[in-house]
Amino acid sequence: MNIMLPFINQKIGRIRWRISKLDSMLALLTMLCILALLGNPLFAQERPNFLVIVADDMGYSDMGMFGGEISTPNLDALAQQGVRYTNYYVAPTCSPTRAMLMSGMDNHLAGMGNMYERIAPNQEGQPGYEGVLNHQIAPLPAILKANGYHTYMAGKWHLGKSPEHIPAARGFERDFTLLDAAGAHFSRKPYDDANDETQFTADGKYIDKLPKGYYSSKTFTDKMIEFIESNRGDGKPFFAYMAHQAPHDPLQVPDDWLRKYKGRYDAGWDKIREQRLARMKEMNLIPEIAENAHRIWYVPDWDELTGMAQVTLARKMEIYAAMVEYLDMEIGKLVDYLRDTDQLDNTYIIFFSDNGPESNDKVSNVKGKKASAFANWLAKTYDTDFASWGRKGSFVAYGPPWAQVSATPFWMFKGTMNEGGIRSPLVIVDPKHTNAGSINHHALLHVKDLAPTLLDLANIEPPRQFNGHDVLPMQGA
């Protein structure tokens, strides 16, 4: 038996070598199969779609499932299918938030330390205050596009207007985009006298004429559906950035929506805030011991106002509420399209607002403009008569009293670092409806967390080099 041992060991060694070789071949075949599948449209379809919906200047408690009295059945349905997050933070103004969404890092590092319209003298020409999405970052849509995603945008950009900074240059395959900070919702009337008209791009080209029947919320939604439909069935997933302009002022809605909330706000801002607070407690959004922030010192008690003043001021909130409900209807139209075309079951939906509610009256807070000069321009450019409020060509904003209602229960609003300016409602719906209808009070989330999270869900590593040069690492988690 001892004589046979070397022979037996030799045989065993050969068998082990053959098994090892077979394992290597199987591993190689497995890898080849995986690579083949990665290139197969059927496999690519398993990667999730992403729909990111951003409202412009919408308050924390405006939607129904966050305590509001405004009818938002479609957003409420998303909240019931997903998770509401109560501790989600954004920047106090819009373009810094959008820069963090697109980059996954602090807005200063991304070039948007401040809105370019509000650059202070000591910030001009300084790093981090370029006023555009700079090239130190790899934009989220560009990363996704490079990894096989369709990338679509419809809505407001506010991250640069020159050819090298428009959406098409930063990774969007298709777009229909308002490049400016704001403007009319029915036309290209500008937001201030710095421009003659607002600027738009369509699929990377500057356009002079808007589609027939243009209204921001409707047209942006129709364009997004058109983009997604154009490539449906090709096996590639999509990233859809639905950056709505509503409910940013000027408050404008189609004529048949003007009276939807007639009389709803006659009780005044104090009562509406109290009602919202009570509903938020009933929904377990805030603790039972929570109280509203005290009324801003320069906002009068509603009951001290004259009857005419009450009618005038209530009208502003009526139009704002109609605008939010119309926005909700368009969000529902997009979600219904995804459902009807069997794309919803593989789509993550994220909804939030870019900052707190707008409080400015647009007459006294424009860089380099005296109040009287801007008021004169506004009167020449828009119809500011009470009877025209909310209609095409009119201009009205709802001001600090109603902005504080929208921010219930928090203090202050857009443009401040108070909770009312930087805490946003957040709803996330995952395809499996995990923890559907729940409220998350524990996670502390920030807008810069979204880009790395989406890349992680798509199984994509954030690059350290992009377009031939080094880029900063994402900070979000």
Q: Residue 37: helix, strand or coil by DSSP?
A: helix
Q: Which residues of 13-26 are buried (b: 16+ CB within 10 A; e: fewer)?
A: eeeeeeeeeeeeee
* Rounded Cα gap, residues 249 and 251, in angstroms: 5
Q: Are strands 174-178 and 347-353 parallel, antiparallel or unpaired?
A: unpaired
Q: Please return the burial class of 98, using the count of CB atoms within 10 Å of its CB with bins 0-12, 13-18 and 19+.
A: buried
Longest dimension (CA), the chain: 115
Q: Residue 383: helix, strand or coil by DSSP?
A: strand
Compute the chain's Rg from CA coordinates: 26
Dihedral sign of CA atoms 302, 303, 305, 306 in order: positive
Structure tokens at 275: 């009602």
Whether 185 is a known active-site residue: answer no
Is the distance from CB of 347 to CB of 431 less than 8 angstroms?
yes
φ and ψ at 447, to 5 degrees? -60, -30
Specify the amino acid at residue 378: L
Whether 94 is a known active-site residue: answer yes
CB hemisphere CA count around 451 (13 angstroms)? 27
Between the CA of residue 287 and those of 96, 244, 269, 280, 412, what are the distances in Å? 31, 31, 22, 9, 20
Between the CA of residue 313 and those of 140, 309, 362, what are the distances in Å? 42, 6, 16
Q: Which of 150, 158, 165, 185 is catalytic?
A: 158
CA-CA-CA-CA torsion for 103, 105, 106, 109, nearest 10 degrees?
-70
Q: Are strands 347-353 and 445-446 parallel, antiparallel or unpaired?
A: unpaired
Between the CA of residue 55 and those of 63, 234, 379, what are the distances in Å? 11, 30, 27
Whether omega before 452 lies within 30 degrees of 0, making that bond cis, reads no
- Report, as residue numbers or ranges, the catalytic residues: 94, 158
